[in-house]
A and B are shown apart, each in its own frame.
Chain A
Amino acid sequence: NAGVTQTPKFRVLKTGQSMTLLCAQDMNHEYMYWYRQDPGMGLRLIHYSVGEGTTAKGEVPDGYNVSRLKKQNFLLGLESAAPSQTSVYFCASRDRGRGYEQYFGPGTRLTVT
């Protein structure tokens, strides 16, 4: 039981390049979330999904797109990376029922030069 995993762990992009971050969970959770964490700040919600095939915008969605084609996977895409997207990205998942706890992945450190 791996919990929540994220791929890749580190990435360096040049401005304008694109990439996809993968989040996978093996807990059969309905809800999944993407957060970003900048220095000196708490995590901020980018996008979230409440089930396969559904996604919604969070607090800071601009410049990102997401997809949830399979229940266990939640992809975060950057179509044209900008230096302002340099951050640590965390994925989390949660059961839809009575368990409110979110389980976090190990994070992806992204640098855009």
Chain B
Amino acid sequence: GENVEQHPSTLSVQEGDSAVIKCTYSDSASNYFPWYKQELGKRPQLIIDIRSNVGEKKDQRIAVTLNKTAKHFSLHITETQPEDSAVYFCAASNNAGGTSYGKLTFGQGTILTVHP
């Protein structure tokens, strides 16, 4: 099955700095890579996602890059703000049909702290 590794486990930055979180996956059939932000006691919230036919996607201060050859993808947050502090999870799934059914495999999470 799929295995997703996420690094670093904790990340501390100053407000205004950039933050980068990296994930690797094992199943070359995976074709969907979402990133979730989870605040304490809340549900995971999708912040950005990318499909395997795209190399990069950007949404304001957040961007995701995907390298299919190396099987890794990264989340980039620019101009970080204290409200970006949360746990971030990457995930991967295969939505190509058959018996995959889009089941998500999650990374272990990154605790991001943005200091004012």
Contact = CB atoms under 8 A, between A and B. Distances in A.
Chain B associates with chain A: yes
Nearest to B33: A100
Contacts of A40: 108-109
Given A42-B89, A42-B109, A100-B95, A31 B102 contact: yes
Contacts of B44: 43, 90, 104
Contacts, number: 58
Contacts of B93: 100
Interface residues on B, range: 20 to 34
Interface in B2-47: 4, 6, 32, 34, 42-46
A104 B91 CA distance: 14
| Size bracket of the A interface | 20 to 34
Interface of A: 31, 33, 35, 40-45, 48, 50, 56, 58-59, 90, 92, 94, 100-102, 104-107
